[in-house]
């Protein structure tokens, strides 16, 4: 079925450390995955995406890893900064050409000074 | 360039009332999608419109309806409001008819039903 879930609802890290946010999905036909960042009072903001034919993709300070064998993806944020504090969502496109995104519940990332 | 805009930003309604939420997409974007985000959860897909036609619909009751205008702006209407309709309503726009790949979200309208 279509469902995307997250392992942890909250994550607290020290400023400067690396953060890893995990996400599990159940639909083996999912074609595309996206990580969004949502700050308080704002809509979700695109961070990075990955297609199902890839297992790793890197952006600026962020890396997404996709493990299709166990239906798991993760978002790694390097050298976490105070501005990274937000709720992070993974989302999937359940099949190629789908009109909708299926979002997970979200993980709140808190940065400790 | 202006991003996706939504109005109003906040709204308080009473059970049984009707509400209309508005969205203006990014200039040049022809697709608009609506999502409902209940507090503490991820957004859930409600509708997608492209070129004024409904292209997708989520698992929401018929109390929810939407339309898209010739200028590609959109309205979401909810009738007979329930307490459970309290949520952040997000609008997202994209260039193409398969919008999920390139969606840009607005700041949302916070609806409170009392």
Using the beta-carbon criterion (under 8 Å), do B92 and A43 form an inter-chain contact?
Answer: yes
Nearest CB neighbour to B48, from listed A93, A100, A105: A100
Q: What is the pLDDT along chain A (113 residues), one digit of tens a residue?
A: 345 554 458 999 999 999 999 999 988 888 899 999 999 889 999 999 999 999 999 999 999 999 999 999 999 999 999 999 999 999 998 887 788 899 988 999 999 98
Inter-CA distances, A97 with A36, A93, A94, B54, B100, Å: 20, 8, 9, 15, 8
Question: What tokens does B63 get?
Answer: 């109390």
Instruction: Please say if the pLDDT value at position B42 is more than 80.
Output: yes
B45-92 residue pLDDT tens:
999 999 999 999 999 999 999 999 999 999 999 999 999 999 999 999
Nearest CB neighbour to B99, from listed A36, A99, A105: A99
**What spatial distance separates the first Cα and last Cα of chain A, rounded to whole Å?**
41
Asked if A103 reaches chain B (Cβ–Cβ under 8 Å), the answer is yes
Using the beta-carbon criterion (under 8 Å), do B98 and A106 form an inter-chain contact?
Answer: no
Distance CA B102, CA B96 (A): 8
A89-108 residue pLDDT tens:
999 988 877 888 999 889 99
User: What single string gives the DSSP state of each residue in B14-42?
Assistant: -TT--EEEEEEPPTT--EEEEEEE-TTS-
Residue pair A90/A76 in contact by the 8 Å Cβ criterion: no
């Amino acid at each position: 079925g279509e469902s995307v879930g997250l392992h942890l609802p909250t994550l607290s890290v020290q400023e400067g450390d690396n953060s890893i946010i995990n996400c599990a999905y159940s639909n083996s036909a999912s074609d595309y995955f996206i990580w969004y960042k949502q700050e308080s009072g704002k809509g979700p903001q695109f961070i990075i995406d990955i297609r199902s034919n890839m297992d790793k993709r890197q952006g600026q300070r962020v890396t997404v890893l996709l493990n299709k064998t166990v239906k798991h993806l993760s978002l790694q944020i390097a050298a976490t900064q105070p501005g990274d504090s937000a709720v992070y969502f993974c989302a999937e496109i359940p099949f190629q050409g789908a009109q909708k995104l299926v979002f997970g519940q979200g993980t709140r990332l808190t940065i400790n000074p | 360039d202006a991003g996706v805009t939504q109005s109003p930003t906040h709204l308080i309604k009473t059970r049984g009332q009707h509400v209309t939420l508005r969205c203006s997409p990014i200039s040049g974007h022809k697709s608009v999608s609506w999502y409902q985000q209940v507090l503490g959860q991820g957004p859930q897909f409600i509708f997608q419109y492209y070129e004024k036609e409904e292209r997708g619909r989520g698992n929401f009751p018929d109390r929810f309806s939407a339309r898209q205008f010739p200028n590609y702006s959109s309205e979401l209407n909810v009738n007979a409001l329930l307490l459970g309709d309290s949520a952040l309503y997000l609008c997202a726009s994209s260039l193409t008819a398969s919008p999920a790949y390139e969606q840009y979200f607005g700041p949302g309208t916070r609806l409170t039903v009392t």
